[in-house]
């Protein structure tokens, strides 16, 4: 009998403790919500396509953006204020991105937006931020966003742009008198890359023998291959992104295209190379904003890799991931310099900023807010030449950033 | 435009059509016999590709993956029928549709959790790497193999349905399940097998598509749309329709790719719209079915 009594009391006690614990848990859960209304947290909105064909690149962007935020918070935040990253899935859809961005601004009261991973989506985000006077640091390739008609003083472009990327790639791959064919995704990104390549090849003195536009997000490219082979080019430029790049190159290789011509892409993607393997990508040349292998020749890259490895269980940062880090990182540095989140002060700080986050010093050009930065040209290694699973590319060239890489402010329609 | 290019384009179209046929076939069989519109078809196609890849790396041979994945995923399909779909027979057509639609989300997310959302390489089997000289141009060996394999599968399917007793029961069951019950046939077992067959065909399509595309959790989404277009053009529930329409769509895409490449995806839907205007039941569909 006594044993029963003690048991029941113990049970009663434990139930009460459990209840107390539970209510305490609820209280702590509710705390940050209560705090948010009046707090002084700095909130950065981050729309990115977590679902869809660019999901792999998007998730790397989020990891790197979170790292940039964490490093600042670890050092006590900005003027004592903590930074919070609000990630939203834009589903690679311009309408969805605009809605999410508007929500971030109106409901979540973010202080700035960083993100988007498609030139079309990023223009939609820019429309919203421009109209609301909110700073937007875009981190996906676009030429249009630099031009006067889409520009605003709140628009910053941290990514490379097609003009500088294609010029650097063409310099390494296209020679005078060569014949060049193009397979191009039929949307803003593809069109801008095509325009860049054609301008570069005209300057070099190469001839364009054909352009084929393919539907965005196509799974099968076999129907374009006989035509491309019949054009008999020396170089085939495949200007598309994400899984389209992997599928197009894979199927081109199946048709024996590599035996006839060199395959060149504007941006060679780390994740897509992983998705189709070394044999398919072997010898393909393309541009990049970042490659982890830069660490042997660049101190900043080594530090960035180290911080990323520490936060992600030894994994390495990828190209588009690095944009998340430099996009958010440069904004936070500017907020640091501006001493807070006052939009005009941060804009001025960004314009005067020299930042060195992933690969050497970068700065935003005054007239169009394009980040002047180095462009890498990479060649995919063959399997036998890989030192380890992450040793994907050889660095063919690393062109240091310079104003001459960009179209002039006058050409873009900005007052000079 | 020279003739050899057009012939090459025809070949790409047939190879493309072969994959369309195999994916649409499972969809149309399940609808024709069971009246179930399987929205998880694309997801099961994707599961097939992952299963094939997994089994191939486990056994070290693509051929085991190709053989076992459709069987195992087909068995999984039977489990789906037994546990879930079976309960909805006799209800409105929307119920199984919604069920399989939800199922497709679960399958895609499940694969994302297990294998991650990045693409995984599916190497072409070593015997089929390279190209064949067709006289008019070079064509990948693997795609020729796909055409041949799909032809064999179609032949076997036709023999089974037209020449065997099982086929007779299946065809009769599609016409009038009530009478079949009266005659003492356990129609439930037939439906179980048919659903398994449909899912197995989806999985086979997935394994075959693997070496041509990268394998990723979303690979079934586009395939589902294509399979539906082919099924609607051919006539819902018609096997001959699926074959004819699949090849037709493949060749159409290929020819349009030659003249207006950016229209290559749209043409499939334009073709569907045109067919629906002239023959609402599809090319080989029975009136009143759709």
Among the partner-chain residues A212, A230, A246, the one whose CB lies closest to the CB of B261 is A212
- Report the pLDDT value the prediction gives residue A20, as an integer from 0 to 100: 52
- Give the distance from residue B45's alpha carbon to the nearest chain A alpha carbon, in angstroms: 14
CA A10 to chain centre: 57
Distances in Å between the alpha carbon of A23 and those of A16, A26, A35, A37, A111?
Answer: 11, 5, 18, 22, 33
- Give the distance from residue B85's alpha carbon to the nearest chain A alpha carbon, in angstroms: 28
Q: B140 pairs with which residues across the strands?
A: B131
Q: Are the C-beta atoms of A69 and A333 separated by less than 8 Å?
A: no
How many residues are recorded in chain A? 416
Count A/B contacts: CB-CB distance under 8 Å: 114
Q: Which residue of A has its CA nearest to B263?
A: A215
A-chain residues near B6 (CB < 8 A):
none
Per-residue pLDDT of chain B (290 residues; tens, 9 = 90+): 578 889 989 989 999 999 899 999 999 999 888 888 999 999 999 999 999 999 999 999 999 999 999 999 999 999 999 999 998 888 888 899 999 999 999 999 999 889 887 788 898 998 999 899 888 888 999 999 999 999 999 999 999 988 998 888 888 887 788 888 888 888 888 889 999 999 999 999 999 999 998 798 989 988 999 999 999 999 988 889 999 999 999 999 999 988 888 888 899 999 999 999 999 888 988 765 44
Number of H helices, E strands in chain B: 11, 2
The reply to whether A42-160+295-373 and A163-288+376-399 are identical in fold is yes
A-chain residues near B218 (CB < 8 A):
51-53, 55
Q: Are the C-beta atoms of A286 and A268 separated by less than 8 Å?
A: yes
The verdict on a CB contact (< 8 Å) between A59 and B9 is no
Residues 6+ apart with CB under 8 A from B115: B50, B217
Query: Which of these, A157, A72, A164, lies nearest to A327 by C-alpha position?
Result: A157
The verdict on a CB contact (< 8 Å) between A215 and B13 is no
Q: Which two tokens stand for residue B122?
A: 């599916």
What SS3 class is residue B11? Answer: helix
- Report the pLDDT value the prediction gives residue B46, as an integer from 0 to 100: 96
Distances in Å between the alpha carbon of B86 and those of B36, B104, B187, B281?
Answer: 10, 17, 12, 27
The verdict on a CB contact (< 8 Å) between B262 and A271 is no
The verdict on a CB contact (< 8 Å) between B222 and A219 is yes
Per-residue pLDDT of chain A (416 residues; tens, 9 = 90+): 344 434 444 444 455 555 555 555 454 444 444 444 446 899 999 999 998 778 888 999 999 999 999 999 999 999 999 999 999 999 999 999 999 999 999 999 999 999 999 888 999 999 999 999 999 999 999 888 888 888 999 999 999 999 999 999 999 999 999 999 999 999 888 999 999 999 999 999 999 999 999 998 888 899 999 999 999 999 999 999 988 999 999 999 999 999 999 999 999 999 999 989 999 999 999 999 999 999 999 999 999 999 999 999 999 999 999 999 999 999 999 999 999 999 999 999 999 999 999 999 999 999 999 999 999 999 999 999 999 999 999 999 999 998 889 999 989 988 76
Distances in Å between the alpha carbon of B29 and those of A160, B46, B60, B102, B242?
Answer: 50, 19, 33, 21, 9
Q: Which two tokens stand for residue A43?
A: 């909130």
Among the partner-chain residues A52, A225, A275, the one whose CB lies closest to the CB of B119 is A275
Fold of A163-288+376-399: Rossmann fold (3.40.50)
Residue pLDDT, tens place only, B169-178: 888 887 788 8
Gap between the Cα atoms of B142 and B224, Å rounded: 23
Going from N- to C-terminal start, the domains of chain A cover: 42-160+295-373, 163-288+376-399
Gap between the Cα atoms of A249 and A263, Å rounded: 8
Mean pLDDT of chain B: 90
- Report the pLDDT value the prediction gives residue A1, as an integer from 0 to 100: 39
Q: Which residue of A has its CA nearest to B140?
A: A255
Among the partner-chain residues B5, B216, B222, the one whose CB lies closest to the CB of A227 is B5
- DSSP-derived secondary structure letter, B288: T
- Domain A42-160+295-373 part of CATH 3.40.50.2300: yes
The verdict on a CB contact (< 8 Å) between B262 and A59 is no
What SS3 class is residue A112? Answer: strand
Residue pLDDT, tens place only, B146-168: 999 999 999 999 999 889 988 88
């Amino acid at each position: 009998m006594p044993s029963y009594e003690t048991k029941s009391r113990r049970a009663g006690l434990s139930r009460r403790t459990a209840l107390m614990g539970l209510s305490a848990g609820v209280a702590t859960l509710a705390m940050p919500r209560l705090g948010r209304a009046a707090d002084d947290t700095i909130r950065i909105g981050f729309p990115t396509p977590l679902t869809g064909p660019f999901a792999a690149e998007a998730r790397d962007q989020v990891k790197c953006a979170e790292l940039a935020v964490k490093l600042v918070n670890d050092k006590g935040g900005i003027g004592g204020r903590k930074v919070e990253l609000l990630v939203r899935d834009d589903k690679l859809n311009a309408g969805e991105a605009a809605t999410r961005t508007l929500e971030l601004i109106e409901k979540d009261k973010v202080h700035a937006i960083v993100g988007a991973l498609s030139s079309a989506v990023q223009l939609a985000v820019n429309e919203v931020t421009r109209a609301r006077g909110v700073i937007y640091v875009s981190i996906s390739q676009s030429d249009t966003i630099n031009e006067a008609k889409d520009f605003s003083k709140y628009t910053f472009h941290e990514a490379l742009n097609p003009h500088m990327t294609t010029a650097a790639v063409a310099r390494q791959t296209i020679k005078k008198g060569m014949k060049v064919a193009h397979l191009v995704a039929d949307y803003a990104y593809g069109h801008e890359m095509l325009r860049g390549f054609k301008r570069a090849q005209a300057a070099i003195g190469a001839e364009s023998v054909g352009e084929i536009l393919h539907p965005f997000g196509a799974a099968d490219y076999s129907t374009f291959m006989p035509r491309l082979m019949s054009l008999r080019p020396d170089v085939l430029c495949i200007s598309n992104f994400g899984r389209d790049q992997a599928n197009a190159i894979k199927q081109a290789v199946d048709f024996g295209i590599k035996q006839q011509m060199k395959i060149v892409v504007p941006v060679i993607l780390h994740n897509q190379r992983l998705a189709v393997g070394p044999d398919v990508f072997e010898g393909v040349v393309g541009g990049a904003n970042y490659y982890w292998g830069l660490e042997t020749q660049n101190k900043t890259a080594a530090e960035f890799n180290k911080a990323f490895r520490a936060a992600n269980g030894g994994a390495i940062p990828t190209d588009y991931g690095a944009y998340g880090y430099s996009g958010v990182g440069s904004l936070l540095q500017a907020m640091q310099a501006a001493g807070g989140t006052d939009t005009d002060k941060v804009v001025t700080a960004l314009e005067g900023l020299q930042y060195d986050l992933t690969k050497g010093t970068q700065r935003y050009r005054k007239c169009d807010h394009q980040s002047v930065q180095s462009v890498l040209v990479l060649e995919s290694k063959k399997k036998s030449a890989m030192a380890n699973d992450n040793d994907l590319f050889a660095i063919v060239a690393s062109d240091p950033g310079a104003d001459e890489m960009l179209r002039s402010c006058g050409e873009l329609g900005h007052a000079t | 435009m020279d003739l050899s290019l057009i012939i090459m384009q025809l070949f790409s179209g047939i190879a493309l059509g072969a994959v369309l046929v195999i994916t649409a076939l499972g969809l149309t069989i399940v609808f024709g016999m069971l009246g179930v519109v399987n929205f998880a078809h694309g997801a099961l196609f994707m599961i097939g590709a992952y299963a094939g890849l997994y089994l191939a790396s486990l056994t070290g041979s693509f051929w085991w993956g190709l053989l076992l994945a459709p069987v195992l995923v087909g068995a999984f399909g039977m489990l789906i029928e037994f546990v879930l779909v079976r309960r909805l027979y006799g209800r409105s057509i929307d119920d199984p549709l919604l069920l399989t639609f939800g199922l497709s989300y679960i399958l895609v997310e499940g694969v994302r959790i297990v294998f991650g959302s990045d693409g995984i390489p599916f190497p072409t089997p070593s015997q089929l790497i390279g190209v064949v000289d067709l006289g008019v141009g070079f064509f990948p060996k693997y795609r020729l193999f796909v055409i041949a394999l799909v032809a064999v599968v179609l032949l076997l399917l036709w023999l089974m349905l037209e020449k065997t007793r099982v086929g007779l029961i299946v065809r009769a069951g599609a016409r009038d399940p009530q009478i079949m019950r009266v005659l003492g046939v356990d129609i439930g077992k037939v439906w179980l097998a048919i659903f398994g067959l449909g899912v197995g065909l989806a999985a086979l399509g997935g394994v075959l598509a693997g070496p041509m595309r990268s394998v990723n959790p979303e690979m079934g989404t586009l395939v589902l749309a294509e399979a539906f277009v082919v099924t609607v053009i051919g006539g819902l529930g018609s096997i001959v329709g699926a074959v004819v329409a699949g090849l037709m769509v493949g060749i159409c895409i290929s020819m349009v790719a030659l003249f207006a490449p950016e229209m290559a995806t749209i043409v499939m839907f334009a073709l569907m719209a045109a067919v629906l205007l002239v023959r609402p039941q599809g090319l080989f569909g029975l009136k009143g079915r759709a």
